[in-house]
Amino acid sequence: MCPVCGYTKLDEPAYDEKGCASFMICPCCGTEFGYDDSTTRHGELRKRWVDAGMKWWSTSLHPPADWNPETQLKNIFSEKA
Ligand SMILES: [Zn+2]
């Protein structure tokens, strides 16, 4: 799951079990794991994405038909709970 936007259909985990970044870019929020989040906290990246209107980032990959960014964000908070 993307730790920034809660997108659950990433091709591979953002971080492996050792905590190594995949350097993959989330197609939903555009965060590059290990790069964008090495200098900026996930919470801050999330706030920026939300403030920018929670837009789908990728132009080559389309969002799921039932994609709902607000529902998706709840993934993050339900996992922490
Ligand atoms: Zn994301």
Q: Where in the chain are the domains? A: 1-81
pLDDT per residue rounded down to tens, the chain (81 residues): 999 999 999 999 999 999 999 999 999 999 999 999 999 999 999 999 999 999 999 999 999 999 999 999 999 987 654
Q: How far is the CA of 56 from the centre of ligand 1 (A)?
A: 9
pLDDT at 80: 54
Q: What is the CA radius of gyration of the chain?
A: 12
What 3-state class would DSSP assign to 61?
Answer: coil
Distances (CA, A) of 56 to 46, 63, 80: 13, 7, 24
Q: How far is the CA of 19 from the centre of ligand 1 (A)?
A: 17
CB 75 within 8 A of CB 31: no
pLDDT at 78: 77
**Residue 25 backbone phi and psi in degrees, to 5:** -105, 130
